Amino acid sequence: MRTLFSAELVQSAADSLGDSVLVDSDRVATVGWRRDLAAQADDEQHYAGATIVPGLRDAHIHPVGYASALTGITLDSITDLAGMGDVLREAAESLQENAPLIVTRFDDHAVAEGRLPTRIDLDDAVGDRPALVHRYCGHIAIANTAALAAAGVDAATPDPSGGSLDRDGDGAPTGVLRETAIDLVTVHIEDVAKPQPTQVLDAMTRLAGLGITSIGGMLGLGDGPWSSLGDEVDTMVSISGHLPITVHALVIARSRDALLDAKDRIDAAGQRLRWSGLKLFADGSLGGHTAAMHEPFADAPDETGTMRLTDADVELARAAVAAGGMVAIHAIGDRANGAVIDTFETLIGEGAQPDRLRLEHASVLTNADVDRIGALGITASVQPAFLGSEADWLGTRVGEDRLPHSYPFASLEAAGATLAAGSDSPVESPDPFAGMALARDRAGLTPQESLDPSSALALFTDGGAVALGEPPPLAIGSPADFVVVDRNPVAVDPDALRQTVVIATVVGGVEVPVDRSQPTWVG
């Protein structure tokens, strides 16, 4: 069966390709003009006045976490800690007695007090019920007194490797948990409201409604800071036969056996769930002052962040490479990025393919490391959406000397680096057109690092395909994954780009049925 999908224009990142895509079964047969291709088709789907673009890739997203943001309790709308207390109190009333309460997306920059809450703030709202509030970055959480007690965390508890507990003047935990310290509590608290498999499947369909045809899905194994969500690999395997988009799984594993067990489970699942490799962490976040920096933060002169990368991580990366997988390592601060690039240099020297190595976020970079990324041929997996949420405070956090080296998209492109984009949702909205717009206008920050319209589209198409190990989009023989939109994304300004309407999303030559009345974000 050969179907012709025709519109006003077919636009790739590189060029205009005609007005039609001829699909043979689930593959692209050719791209060109309707007048030349119509006779070769058995059927035609025409979209008057629309533009066809390659399927959009979100190279870095947490699919179960995204579903949790859509279905769970979030704190996006609060403006002060009293408002947080109101949300917690109301949410607690809907739970059984003493059932834990877990909420997400607290932003200390958005509340009038300009600070993180403490266990006392949470106690005032929920009493003796265990409660945990996650900062939106995912690298800080706040536990109340009952949650700390359930985990056995007290003044005598030492800081874990790669994390820390904030303490009061007497050494008692304030409830603020940073990086791996979050794990001390989450492994003892079950999220009774965690998303069910059907809700995760619904969330994947909502991504299709945004024009996303494949993702790099970061999946936990029931440990770590999001252990309350359960084994995310099991969740995705349970819905793998019904996935509307392709999910390339990057597993957050802590041992070789756990990684390879996850690989076996994913390999036995449906075709649209694929094992891609390993996800590791080198540091934390800028918002939480836990990104590993060479020099202290401008607004915290005694703090240089938290380096999490260890020799054991490097050995785990070797295991992933040996199993044929990718290695994706989170690095925000310049010190963490340098350490990850050092690691990748070692792996490449041992025979790893550069395009199988991903530097996740690449937020603050030295000029030398920008050049090294380009020279090595590794992929910089970036998140333009961070610019939108950090614009008001990024300069204060990194200082005027490092601000020009923060999210240096144009510099990376000039150095020859492969750039791919993701949202890191639920940290940010997964809307790819908003991401493209921010890659271009950067919310007004360091405009010299802006990308042009074609490069911004390439972040989510050609570059995303490299990051996910997929063939070139819309190439003959590639999967017939593309999107029909109401405007040409390279011919409109960033504000108009943000208003793009997705008319249809086609995956494997079949339009994905989407309920477009459903919200795709919590903001």
pLDDT of residue 191: 81
Say whether both 123 and 258 belong to one domain.
Answer: no
pLDDT of residue 64: 97
Q: In this structure, are residues 6 and 34 in contact, taking their beta carbons and an 8 Å threshold? A: yes
Tell me the C-alpha distance between 519 and 254, whole Å.
Answer: 34
Residue 519 pLDDT greater than 90, yes or no: yes
Say whether both 211 and 333 belong to one domain.
Answer: yes
Q: Nearest to residue 143, comparing CAs of 88, 77, 67, 96?
A: 88
Average pLDDT over residues 107-131: 96
Average pLDDT of the chain, as a whole number? 97
Secondary structure letter of residue 479 according to DSSP: B
Confidence of residue 385 (pLDDT cuts 50, 70, 90): very high
Of 186, 210, 243, which marks where a domain is finished?
Answer: 186
User: Does residue 523 sit within a domain?
Assistant: no
pLDDT digits (tens, 9 = 90+) for 131-156: 999 999 999 999 999 999 999 999 99
pLDDT of residue 352: 98
Say whether both 233 and 148 belong to one domain.
Answer: no
pLDDT digits (tens, 9 = 90+) for 399-448: 999 999 999 999 999 999 999 999 999 999 999 999 999 999 999 999 99
Average pLDDT over residues 242-253: 98
pLDDT of residue 207: 98
Q: In this structure, are residues 310 and 264 in contact, taking their beta carbons and an 8 Å threshold? A: no
> Tokens 């996910």, residue?
468
Classify residue 90 by burial, with Cβ atoms within 10 Å: 0-12, 13-18, 19+.
exposed
Q: Nearest to residue 211, comparing CAs of 522, 517, 523, 516?
A: 516
User: Does residue 231 sit within a domain?
Assistant: yes
pLDDT of residue 98: 86
| Distance set, CA 215 to CA 244, 249, 321, 327, 478 (Å) | 11, 8, 20, 16, 16
Helix and strand element counts for the chain (H, E): 19, 21
How many C-beta atoms surround the C-beta of residue 234 within 10 A?
14
Residues in a beta bridge with 214? 57, 246
User: Does residue 22 sit within a domain?
Assistant: no
Residue 523 pLDDT greater than 80, yes or no: no
Say whether both 212 and 124 belong to one domain.
Answer: no
pLDDT of residue 97: 87
pLDDT of residue 270: 82
Average pLDDT over residues 279-283: 98
Residue 319: its H or E element? helix 311-322
User: Does residue 51 sit within a domain?
Assistant: no
Question: Over the Cα atoms of the chain, what is R_g?
Answer: 23
User: Does residue 390 sit within a domain?
Assistant: yes
Where residue 294 sits, what CATH number does that domain have?
A: 3.20.20.140
pLDDT exceeding 90 applies to what percent of the chain?
96
How many C-beta atoms surround the C-beta of residue 157 within 10 A?
17
Say whether both 289 and 379 belong to one domain.
Answer: yes
Does the pTM surpass 0.85? The reply is yes
User: Does residue 43 sit within a domain?
Assistant: no
pLDDT of residue 460: 98
Say whether both 243 and 271 belong to one domain.
Answer: yes
- How many Å separate Cα 427 from the centre of its chain? 7
Residue 370 pLDDT greater than 80, yes or no: yes
Average pLDDT over residues 317-334: 98
pLDDT of residue 224: 83
Say whether both 175 and 198 belong to one domain.
Answer: no
Query: What is the edge-to-edge ordering of all strands in the sheet holding 357-361?
Result: 56-61, 212-220, 246-252, 273-281, 326-331, 357-361, 379-382, 418-421
pLDDT of residue 505: 98
Average pLDDT over residues 464-492: 98
Number of domains in the chain: 2
Say whether both 282 and 143 belong to one domain.
Answer: no
Of 126, 158, 186, which marks where a domain is finished?
Answer: 186
How many C-beta atoms surround the C-beta of residue 479 within 10 A?
23
Classify residue 67 by burial, with Cβ atoms within 10 Å: 0-12, 13-18, 19+.
buried
User: Which three-class secondary structure state does DSSP give residue 360?
Assistant: strand
Say whether both 389 and 281 belong to one domain.
Answer: yes
Say whether both 394 and 503 belong to one domain.
Answer: yes
Of 158, 186, 214, which marks where a domain is finished?
Answer: 186
For the chain, helix, strand, coil in percent to 5 are 35, 25, 40
pLDDT digits (tens, 9 = 90+) for 178-213: 999 999 999 898 887 789 999 999 999 999 999 999
Say whether both 273 and 173 belong to one domain.
Answer: no
Say whether both 311 and 345 belong to one domain.
Answer: yes
User: Which three-class secondary structure state does DSSP give residue 36?
Assistant: helix
Average pLDDT over residues 392-405: 97
Confidence of residue 374 (pLDDT cuts 50, 70, 90): very high
pLDDT digits (tens, 9 = 90+) for 204-242: 999 999 999 999 999 999 988 888 899 999 999 999 999
Looking from the CA of 374 toward its CB, the CA atoms found within 13 Å total 15
* Domain that residue 340 falls in: 57-64+194-511
Residue 491 pLDDT greater than 90, yes or no: yes
User: Does residue 448 sit within a domain?
Assistant: yes
pLDDT exceeding 70 applies to what percent of the chain?
100
